[in-house]
Chains A and B, each alone.
Chain A
Amino acid sequence: MADVTFTVDGKKLTAPAGTLLIDACRAAGIEIPAFCYYPGLSLQAACRMCVVRVEKMPKLQTACTTAVTEGMVVSTETDETKQARKATIELLLGNHPLDCPVCDAGGECELQDMTFKYGAHESKYVETKQHREEQKWSPVVYFDRPRCILCYRCVRVCGEGMDVWALGVENRGVTSVIAPNEKDHLDCEECGMCIDICPVGALTSGTYRYKTRPWEMNHVGTVCTHCGDGCKTTLGVRPTDDGVEIIRGDNRDKSGINGDFLCIKGRYAFDFANHKDRLTKPLIRQADGKLAPVSWEQALDFAAKKLGEIRDSRGGNAIGVIGSNRTTNEETYLLQKFARTILRTNNVDHHRTADYAAFAAALKGHAGREASLRDFLSARAILLLGNDPTNQHPALAWQVRTNVRHNRARIYVANHAEVKLRRQAKAAVDLPADAYASFVEYLAGKDGGFEANDTSAAFRDAIRQEESLLVAFGSEFRGRDILVLVDFGLSLPNTKFACLGDYANSRGAADMGLLPDLLPGYVPVTAAAHFAEEYGSALPTQPGLDLVQMLDAAGRGDLSALYVVGSNPATRYGIDPSALKNTFLIVQDMFLTETAALADVVFPAANLYEKTGTVTNTYGDLQLVKKAADKSGVRTDFEIIVRLADKLGADPKQLVPFGKGVRADFGQTRGAQSGEADRHAVWLAANHLEPKLSPFDPFAILDEIQRLVPAYDVPRLNLLTGNDEHLKSELVQIDASADRRDLVLPSNDLLYTSGTLGRYSAKLTEVVESHTILMKPAEAAAD
């Protein structure tokens, strides 16, 4: 719309006609207080905090509902508005318990801030306050009614934002109250969005309530360790006797790719770190067949000695390595480098949840065709093939819903299941579970394979008329089907794609070469090119065994050693424990998983919240993870790999080139100021240098990744400041014609589960159980 010019507090401002006054002011740095207004949600105009004086208008106007017009003259802070706001706060405080000293929101409460600003600390009311007991609405949501100021933010975010509609308002006037959908409890998605958005402490979290005060925590912005969406989450941490514990997860600065959103896992499922079964000492299997704690030195020596012996006597091919979907890119990269250069084997794999290699092959050479998670917020049209984002990619589902609400994006859903996003769909087609591939051929114009009807015909026509399209597809698509889909997409005017995989760094695991036939960046092991030079040792050139083949080989007695990092194949692939009895098994994990229980050596590992590095979400958005928590006794996977390499007699500097790239300086350049560690760090940061003084520094490996994997060569500074960078996915060196097994095994995780990790999260377990209770009556009724 055309721009209009208007005056606020004497400043001339310009904004498109129709912009809300409150937004226009905020954009110009003029803060207008607001309780009920929340950007992106529908307007409520319930609180009257945002009142301003607009010249020629009879009464004070609410800035949250007034659109700017040409020539408008506004004053935002006058005695009159101050008085009005003060009166509003006085009314709000009329029945407010003022229990700020124990309230979770104390210190970060908008009502406190406003009372402080407008000084409504005296009450003229003599009526007794109405007290109501706190209510537990679900394992994660608690409601403290007297604190509620009835801004309706929670109602709107749950309804409009989440499309759950679990919260409502009952009664009216002074008796109005926020009510859950099941009378005294909630039946909902447990996302906690309502808690985060509550300006006061009326809605509180089952995880965090009454634990601490906000100012007693440090806050670290990092990336969620659960699904493949890679939401930014802020962890509130506090020192304990044995490290640093996480006590809160929330979405503090809203600067991440997830915007306002976090699902239950990003917000609450960090508690696995404090699970009582967490391993903190290395274990070695003793003569009596039992695992017993030993020192790190002993465990590393023992593991390295055995690995070395097996490598030297039977060759690298007798050793297998299984990596993780949740370690950082640097760790993943390091693991395959360790396997290939030190163990001299290509038997490297991981639990694959999407066929990223086929996707890379299909996109090769097509620049700008991979969709970032951000793109789903603004795309005009989205085609969703398979998958159930509400359960498997909650942040994606949020982006899609928001896009529909804000921009009326057109959503097309083709699925074999009743996925919830169909509610937002402009058109939907029911597919038989095995008809995805033929449906794509049908979309591309090849009739015959797919049983068409009027609905599918209209669907096809609508899609082909879109001027631009985002296509997101689930693990229903693998191998050649992906190629066909991408080819079809490329035949349309302007299409981007997203391949949906399951875990926090599933994408990174594939990109970083945890595959038997592909090096980082999908370079074939048969033509290792610059890797051979860079790694400085002869690389095995034959493709190795994939995960299933490794397990088969172990069963036959052909695999003498298996090194498993952050993975639980025993459960995932239902391995018979006896199959591994002749294999020397090293497992690196947080818990004694089913796989670790079979191991000869177990190393207690740190989790993603306890380390620094980068991860790649399933859309190819690269982000920095920052160390938030700590647990004494455990070590990062990075450190364990380096130490193992060292014990195997390798040169750590060869593995982690911490002397290459930008060199740190030891203070020489600063003369008299040298020797002060903190100043040194400040100086380095100011000069965009990083101290790479240790072989445990993941940034030394990031340097190498950026040098050797062109897709990852993205600007580093933006990454370091906590922003996402999208990969240049077209720059892969994959051999697209090669025939490969995809071996995709979807995790089938839902909203409240998260593989092995989820089982160790007390909160997720509690929620799963409470929902089973909720579901029971309905089940009983059904039979």
Chain B
Amino acid sequence: MATETTTIFSPELAARFDKLVTQYPVRRSALIPMLLYAQDEVGYLSPAVIAEVAVRVGIKESDVLSVLSYYSLLRTKPAGKFNVQVCTNICCMLRGGNELFEHCKKRLGVGNKGVTPDGVFSLEEVECIGACSWAPAVQINYDFHENLTPESMDSLLEDYRAKAGK
């Protein structure tokens, strides 16, 4: 496709996508990686992203929506710069996940899926993130933080806020 003129992505990403669709036996297999990369660049999967991805992999927008709505990692609304995902599934729940989540709500002043007014943090309650052995666990963007307590959570959030300033 004529990506040069019509794409909403950066030239690098567009080039990457052009290549990506050629790498699988079936074109639509490129869908999930494409959505992830697009989300990293744009911040979320806007209608424009969905529309272009649908064209690129040759399926309908409703199909893209079906797939992306399955994955909690993919979002259709903007998140904060740092997306704090607190696990409250069984292992984490037994080791204080719920309390941790409540603490984050209070500390950040937002509810589930909320974004702080300055746009630095967003908060999300998620199911098991595969870090049960070190429960309770939290994932912030692509990084894991384990064996957390409300106190260590506070300092973690401070660290991130400091990073946001830069």
Contacts and interface: CB of A to CB of B under 8 A. Distances in A.
A181 interface: yes
B49 interface: no
B90 to A, nearest CB: 15
Nearest to B63: A168
A119 to B, nearest CB: 30
25 contacts: A165-B60, A165-B63, A166-B62, A168-B62, A168-B63, A168-B65, A168-B66, A169-B66, A169-B70, A170-B65, A170-B66, A170-B69, A170-B70, A171-B69, A171-B70, A172-B69, A172-B70, A172-B71, A179-B62, A179-B65, A179-B66, A180-B62, A181-B60, A181-B62, A182-B62
Interface of B: 60, 62-63, 65-66, 69-71
Contacts of B65: 168, 170, 179
A165 B65 CA distance: 13
A465 B60 CA distance: 36
Contacts, number: 25
Contacts of A165: 60, 63
A166 B71 CA distance: 21
Interface residues of A, number: 11
Nearest to A159: B63
Nearest to A155: B66
Nearest to A171: B69
Interface in A165-222: 165-166, 168-172, 179-182
Contacts of A170: 65-66, 69-70
A163 B127 CA distance: 35
Please list the 3 inter-chain residue pairs (A to B) with the smallest Cβ-Cβ separation, ordered nearest first: A168-B66, A181-B62, A170-B69
Contacts of A168: 62-63, 65-66
Given A168-B66, A179-B65, A179-B66, 6 more contacts: A168-B62, A170-B65, A171-B69, A171-B70, A172-B69, A181-B60
A166 B63 CA distance: 9
B123 to A, nearest CB: 19
A292 to B, nearest CB: 56
A420 to B, nearest CB: 15
Nearest to B66: A168
A179 B60 CA distance: 13
Most chain A Cβ neighbours within 10 Å, of B60, B63, B69, B71:
B69
Contacts of A172: 69-71
Most chain A Cβ neighbours within 10 Å, of B63, B65, B66:
B66
Contacts of B62: 166, 168, 179-182
Nearest to B70: A172
Nearest to A170: B69
A123 B65 CA distance: 34
B58 to A, nearest CB: 12
A165 B63 CA distance: 8
Contacts of A182: 62
Nearest to B67: A168
A662 B71 CA distance: 70
Contacts of A166: 62
A168 B70 CA distance: 11
Contacts of B66: 168-170, 179
Contacts of B70: 169-172
A166 B65 CA distance: 12
Contacts of B60: 165, 181
A498 B15 CA distance: 49
Nearest to B59: A165
Nearest to A177: B69
Nearest to A182: B62
A405 to B, nearest CB: 16
A651 B63 CA distance: 67
A560 to B, nearest CB: 61
Contacts of B69: 170-172
